[in-house]
Amino acid sequence: MTPRTPRAGEDADDLDVEEALALVNDAHTPGDRPSGDRTHGDDGAGGSGSHGSGSHGASASGAPAHRDGTDWAEARATAAQAPRRGGGHRGGHLPPVSVPLSSALGLTLAAPLIALTDLPSFDTSAMDGWAVSGPGPWDVREEGVLAGHTAHAPLTDGEAVRIATGARVPPDTTAVLRSEHGRTDDKGRLHATAATRAPHTVSHGQDIRPRGQECRNGDQLLPVGTLVTPPVLGMAAAAGYDTLTVVPRPRAAVFVLGDELLGEGLPHEGLIRDALGPLLPPWLRALGADVVDVRRVGDEEDALHQALKGCDADVVVTTGGTAAGPVDHVHPTLRRLGAELLVDGVAVRPGHPMLLARISEKQYLVGLPGNPLAAVSGLVTLAEPLLRTLAARPAPEGYTLPLRDAVQGHPYDTRLVPVALRGDRALPLLYNGPAMLRGIAAADALAVVPPGGAKPGYEAELLDLPWASGGIGVCFT
């Protein structure tokens, strides 16, 4: 699949990062979705760090209980806007830094790329062949012209010299005659011929790249807000840059909560393997974060409180503990820290009890449910748009595909379902419960299914998984 990330347009050339990205992101803001009564239940909470089944929150009669939760699209928009509303970062993104070209891939330009010289900086040969002066035939100089060598003496009419691609053409060169278009006679004179040995016409300026053909010194090559791709790195190097001014990657910490988790071996005696410790760091890196800390935190409020107080990452991602069970300590800890809850529960399945909080002016916490697929739902709902804004990266371009099969929906909430892309259709995958990873492990994207479900052929909004989209910034090391 090809990346579906738009680039800032030419009308953003004179804007700062925030303004340039706004032109792109405004076009891709999720539309309003219907809201209504929401069901209780932590279809993805799984307790404190648990990756088990979790409670589904039914009433005594067996009917779903109801509660309000932030609409899914509204929650994503809130996460994207959070650093711009009350945060300590100008424009919502992190302060720009200067980095070497080797470290800039996947980052966003915080300053326009201005040509430091004409490109090319001198007239160069576009082909291997001969630099010629005047009409042929030509007498050929013995010494040729190679790329990287100093300037040669001017040519006189009727004179030619062997020249390599990229070499500086001597003064008074009329054109470059390609190797396949020239031959020398018995007297060593050069003639222009076609493949059939018929005469070949040489036009003035042929196969010469004139100085400044691509740009002139001072031209703007790329605007603020441009994502640094491999071609951008090549362009910057050609223009004479050793460093680029960019918005850095947000620093992220991962706290895996739960006393029941094993780091290795088979589950036994009520203990289960930690699936999110291996899953979250590379996923966050794929979203453009620099993961600086991954640790296990026990099911104690003081342990979580101390871990958060000692963390200086821009974004802290926790797993489990977001519901209201006896060892769910995220909410009480956030209250102790005086954090501001921006999103507290989202009308989405799986992952309903996810949350987003502002711990300080420059630090955020994304609380993921403990069940693995529910945690993935929280990543794409809250972590992705938050990290994207902090890094000043453009929003992914939305797209839809028809579903091949029907998908059972939730009565009140949006549902995110793993799908595989098969031609021009999306195939819903099995094993898509909140505690399961088998479906998402085989998926290319998540389909956004509205309340009530979807029939075959329904045009579902799709959220690409970062490695399936081939986007820049994907990094698993």
Query: What pLDDT, in 10s, does the model give residues 464-473?
Result: 998 876 554 4
Question: Out of 136-140, 144-148, 159-163, 267-271, which region has the weakest mean confidence (pLDDT)?
Answer: 267-271
| Per-residue confidence (pLDDT) for residue 368, from 0 to 100 | 95
349/446 Cα distance (integer angstroms): 12
Q: How far apart are CA 212 and CA 414, in angstroms?
A: 54
- Ranking 31-40, 359-368, 443-452 by mean pLDDT, the lowest is 31-40
Which phi and psi angles does 374 have, rounded to 5°? -65, -35
Q: Among 361, 369, 463, which Cα is nearest to 414's? A: 463
pLDDT tens-digit series, residues 71-113:
999 999 999 999 988 656 667 899 999 999 999 999 999 999 9
Q: Is the pLDDT of residue 155 over 70?
A: yes
Residue 79 tokens, joined: 């996460």
Which has more confidence, 47 or 134?
134
Residue in this structure with the two tokens 């999110």, named with its chain if needed: 276
Contact 312, 248 (CB under 8 A): no
Residue 270: CB partners within 8 Å, gap ≥ 6? 260
Kindly state the DSSP code that residue 268 receives in the 8-state scheme.
Answer: B
Contact 323/353 with Cβ under 8 angstroms?
yes
CATH of 122-210, one of 3.20.20.100, 3.30.450.20, 2.170.190.11, 3.20.19.10: 2.170.190.11
pLDDT at 7: 34
Q: Report domain 10-90+249-390's class.
A: alpha beta
Ranking 100-114, 184-198, 332-346 by mean pLDDT, the lowest is: 184-198
Asked if residues 282 and 254 have their Cβ atoms less than 8 Å apart, the reply is: no
**Closest to 353 in 3D by CA, of 75, 18, 91:** 75
pLDDT score, position 33: 36
Torsion-angle region of 402 (φ positive above 0: left; ψ -120 to 50: alpha; else: beta):
beta
**Top-confidence range, 53-57, 197-201, 209-213, 256-260:** 209-213
Q: What is the pLDDT of residue 196?
A: 54
What is the residue extent of each domain of the chain? 10-90+249-390, 122-210
Per-residue pLDDT tens over the stretch 307-337: 999 999 999 999 988 887 777 889 999 999 9
Burial of 246 (0-12, 13-18, 19+ CB in 10 A): buried
User: What DSSP assignment string belongs to 151-193?
Assistant: PPPPP-TTEEEEE-TTPBPPTT--EEEEGGGEEE-TTSEEEEB
- State pTM to two decimals: 0.77
Residues 383-442: tens digit of each pLDDT:
999 999 999 998 888 899 999 999 999 999 999 999 999 999 999 999 999 988 999 999
Helix (H, G, I), strand (E, B) or coil at 27: helix
Question: Which residues, at least 6 apart from 236, have a Cβ–Cβ distance to it below 8 Å?
Answer: 101, 104, 113, 244
